[in-house]
Amino acid sequence: MTARATDARRAAVLGSPIAHSLSPVLHRTAYRELGLTGWSYDRFEVDEEALPGFVGKLGPEWAGLSLTMPLKRAVIPLLDEVSETAASVEAVNTVVFTDDGRRLGDNTDIPGMVAALRERGVEQVDSAAVLGAGATASSALAALARICTGEIVAYVRSEARAAEMRQWGERLALDVRTAHWADAERALHAPLVIATTPAGATDALSHAVPERPATLFDVLYDPWPTALAARWSAYGGAVVSGLDLLVHQAVLQVEQMTGHGPAPLDAMRKAGEHALAER
């Protein structure tokens, strides 16, 4: 049953640290644009140890939760059902509470990545490169499973990380090859490069951007642009930012949690840009 716009409903983003999260800005903008006057969206500092207690105390007014690190895997045992998308990477970033009290887990990062790329005209690629290994990198592989028809090369710093990426590739039925981070400059010649590394990690690669780069998806958004994204844009390449990803996955969250849509993509992006500019 879809809630009425005036119903008092709650949602929030949980994580640790959480003060930096743009999710409240994006979701509140969506509520305002959709006329959901009874809806509120907050942020709570919650770690893995505190998560079961927090979720267990939520009342019937709660519609959903957004989850960021380190909770995306920790929440899974607390759920009644997990979508195939979330199960494919063992990561839930969205929980929806049904009218009968069930807790449904999903991952909107993966379709959010696909939607952000599609918005830039990237529907399909015959190969791709992933910079980094970790939770975001596994989501990147899951997104590539939907749009990449050939080999994916993951550039990582350790053999342990390389083994993890190959395992994710097998699980997702992808052709994943790994290479050492020392050779990461080669990644920049791929039709699609997805950078999943922390701030500063790809700065040293910016001098190696080719004269005619294709598409870079850099999952960071603050600070922005990264040195790599700035050089990429200067050379005329297409750049998809972490804010694009954040907005597209939030659009899907809003629609799932509220039952209303379509969520206002452009208004949410502008609100996010304004919030970042004020920092």
94/262 Cα distance (integer angstroms)? 17
For residue 21, the SS3 value is coil
CA distances from 61 to 39, 98, 155 (A): 10, 11, 45
Instruction: Using the structure block, give the residue that is written with the tokens 């290479």.
Output: 179
DSSP category for residue 153: E
Q: Is 57 a catalytic residue?
A: no
220/200 Cα distance (integer angstroms)? 10
Rg (CA), the chain: 19
96/58 Cα distance (integer angstroms)? 12
DSSP H helices, the chain, are: 23-34, 51-56, 84-89, 109-119, 135-147, 159-171, 227-234, 242-258, 265-278
* Spatial CA neighbour of 102 closest among 86, 71, 81: 81
The tokens for 20 are: 């930096």
Contact 40, 11 (CB under 8 A): yes
CA distances from 112 to 22, 158, 260 (A): 16, 28, 18
Residue at 75: amino acid letter? V
The one catalytic residue among 10, 72, 103, 248: 72
Q: For strand 103-106 and strand 94-97, is the pairing parallel, antiparallel, or unpaired?
A: antiparallel
Catalytic center residues? 72
